[in-house]
Structure 1
């Protein structure tokens, strides 16, 4: 197997080869670091490469494997990237702020500890939009993250660096987070599987969670099984969490072995007040509907609730979070600075009313979804934009464009329902598009099982961008 084929091998298959001693963690890590060295300068996926730490960890794991081949953690020796919103002890955590590049984390985030417990090798920190606030990854002072399928286009955001790294074969699997589509959007843009887990599935320990349950950490994978396996790793209650769910039984990965019963599925191609989805994204929905019907499920077109009442309170909460994070406005990019100053005009009563309104809208969304096992919706309203396409627009216009692009994602951050983005073809520019599967509260298992059926019927993980299909010289 050549180095490129190995880099694109699913994470679970790499773990199997490690257990069989057909390849070592050190060999895998060295291969990925070599690819990062060659490709990352054009891609902007990693902001910090942890080469020294990763090699030391991989070497220790290789030695451990030689003497203790049994009872290994599930993803032992597999490489992973961590989003630069999540601290890794001893490594810079800049949150997409150039002035914070020398800010060294004093502790591991809880989920980073979970990655270590699973035996994974952390390759580095991946690029995020500044403070994770935007659906493209172009923070000032850093190279923009680019889409490996077409470098002129964005990989999405705010987990854009992780998606670009994974799609380009610069890690085996990626961690990200989603507060309004920040996992699902990059998965959509880069031809990956991205899971926004149910509220309470993944702990935000040891810090507080500022977004009233809107955000969740989660996995990006090339396959459904890889995504399920990483969700199993990340899941779990930590003492004192404000909300939590029981661990799945069986595990998400094990659950994939059982096909879902015939499902009742709703689908929509229009979200008011935004309107009808772009034709290429609409076609992706129609193709997915045809596939689920071929698999024996029933599908019916539905009219999704109008999102008018969601937009303003959602923006208010995001603005207030930006004003509260403790970052001086002077180091913020143009858009975040504008949102920051808008937030200063919002009093505590207005903020609490916005939170209450989101909860009311969330109840309406969950009530609407209840008759259906799964909804099939757009991920974003149109395919990926070009890098820098909105850079010179005025901030109010950028906000309008963002709302009109990402509209299908925030309803399920508000409701706390699980939502999964899966690939479904390409646009005319060679950039991936996909669809969003939305489940009932706490029911990631059904989404993953349906996605696994769709993947088996229409495999996607064998596809890889020409940019990344470069062997060592």
Structure 2
């Protein structure tokens, strides 16, 4: 197997090669670091590359593998961490150049679990400023670009993570999703992205401040890789405000288990924001047709989010105020959003209103198992496409684009984005599957069935090969 093939090998397969001593962690890390050096200047996928730390960790693991066979599941597999999550001793910028010298003294809880699983961290991936936007173009950093077509965005706010996985600059990536920030980049870059159920992945050690809408999760090339990583980062930590029991059996087992016949609903539009464009609609209808062929019961439904749009916006944009960063160092859109922030009473009322709508959305799942949606309402935008718009107009464009994603954040339900094909610009097409509360296993089984029926792993961006 040549170095390019290794760079695109699924993370679970890499772990097997390492355990069989057919490949050393050091050899693998060097392959990825070389690729980062060659391709990251074009892609802007990493803010910080921790080459020395990765080589030191890989060297130690390469030696350890000769001494024991008791190894964690992803021993020696290279991963990236989104630059919203602290890694001890590594700059954490949150997408702001003002924080280039912000060096955390602790690991985020999800980072600790990633290290315990045996992963080797290659660096911190690009994010939009404060994770606010569905594209990754923060001031002071190169814009992140889509490996499939450099003129287009890889999405956001986990845009750097998705670009890195899609281009073979890491085996798998950690992302986070407060309104589509895992699913959108996965869709833009032709990857699998899981937005876990609320309470599945702990926010330890610091907690969360957005009424439970934001979660950490995996971005991967295969459903099995994403499922196995979700296994490693899941679990309750003492003091968590939300929690779920550990899955039984594992999510990885779910990826190898055929789903039962499911009741599947679908829609290609979100009221009051309109219908998906032809490409995104095609992705949904193509998936629905395949689901019918696989024996599932499929029916169309409507989804009206009129009552969710305003309260969700209020809760979501409160994260900018909560960051504590002064207005003068923020990008114009975040500065404008900061100025729109209302009183504490308005925030609490928005949470109350959001929870009412969330109950109505979850109630739809009394009669269905899975809802198939577009990930976004139109195809990826070009890098800089909205740069000349006013903040208010940009924000409205964002709302209209990402509309299918926030419902799962508001309700806390799990969702998964999976690739289904290509559009006329050579960009991936994708759909998302939204499941019952805490029912990641059902989504993973169904996604794996779709993946087997419409394989994707053989596709690679020309840039990356």
Please indicate, yes or no, whether the TM-score normalized by the shorter chain is above 0.5: yes
What CA distance in whole angstroms lies between the structure 2 residues aligned with 1:193 and 1:401? 25
* Residue in structure 1 matched with residue 5 of structure 2 by the alignment: 5
The 2-side partners of 1:324 and 1:171 are apart by 31
- Verify: 1:348 aligned to 2:344, yes or no: yes
- Distance (Å, rounded) in 1 between the aligned partners of 2:322 and 2:447: 38
How far did 1:461 drift? Answer: 1.2
Residue 309 of structure 1 deviates from its aligned partner by: 1.0
Distance in 2, Cα, partners of 1:18 & 1:240: 36
CA deviation map 1:71-120 (0-9, x unaligned): 21001100100000000000000000011111111100001000110000
- 2:262 touches 2:296 (CA, 8 Å); kept in 1? yes
Match of 2:383 in 1: 387
Deviation, 1:319, is: 2.4
Matched, 1:461 2:457: yes
Match of 1:20 in 2: 20
Matching residue of 1:329: 327
Q: After superposition, give the CA deviation of every residue in 1:335-356 in whole Å (9 maximum; x if it has no partner).
A: 000001111xx11111111010
- The match for 2:308 is 310
1:122-141 to 2 correspondences below 5 Å: 122-141=121-140
* SS class of match (2:66): helix
- Could you tell me the TM-score, scaled by structure 2's length? 0.99
Instruction: Give a deviation string over 1:296-326, Cα, whole Å, max 9, x none.
Output: 111111112x111111111111222211211
Match of 1:33 in 2: 33
Partner of 1:398: 394
Distance 2:286 2:429 in 1: 12
Q: Helix, strand or coil: the match of 2:65?
A: helix
Distance 1:115 1:324 in 2: 26
Indicate the SS of the match to 2:307. helix
Alignment partners' CA distance in 2, 1:294 and 1:4:
35
Q: TM-score, normalised by structure 1?
A: 0.98
Q: How does 1:89-128 map to 2 (within 5 A)?
A: 89-128=88-127
The match for 2:412 among 412, 416, 428 is: 416
Q: Which residue of 1 aligns with 2:58?
A: 58
Matches within 5 A, 1:56-455: 56-68=56-68, 70-304=69-303, 306-343=304-341, 346-455=342-451
How far, CA to CA, are the matches of 1:257 and 1:419 in structure 2? 18
User: 8 Å contact 2:113–2:232 — kept in the other structure?
Assistant: yes
Query: Any idea what the Cα deviations from partners look like across 1:351-404, whole Å, max 9, x if unmatched?
Result: 111010000010011011221111111100011000000011001101110000
Query: Mind listing any 5+ residue stretches in structure 2 that lack a counterpart?
Result: none
User: Deviation of residue 59 (structure 1)?
Assistant: 0.5
**DSSP 3-state at the match of 1:266:** strand
In the TM superposition, structure 1's runs of 4+ consecutive aligned residues that sit over 3 Å from their partners are none
CA distance in structure 2 between the partners assigned to 1:422 and 1:7 by the alignment: 20
1: distance between equivalents of 2:395 and 2:335? 13
- Aligned mates of 2:350, 2:17 — CA distance in 1: 51
Which blocks of at least 5 consecutive residues in structure 1 are unaligned?
none
SS in 2 for 1:377: strand
Deviation at 1:223, TM superposition (A): 0.2
Shift of 1:247: 0.3
Look up the SS of the partner of 1:47 in the other structure.
strand
Give the SS at the match of 2:308. Answer: helix
Q: CA RMSD in A?
A: 0.7
Per-residue CA deviation, residues 414-450 of structure 1 (Å, 9 max, x unaligned), is 0000000000111111111200100000000000000
Residue 256 of structure 1: CA displacement? 2.1
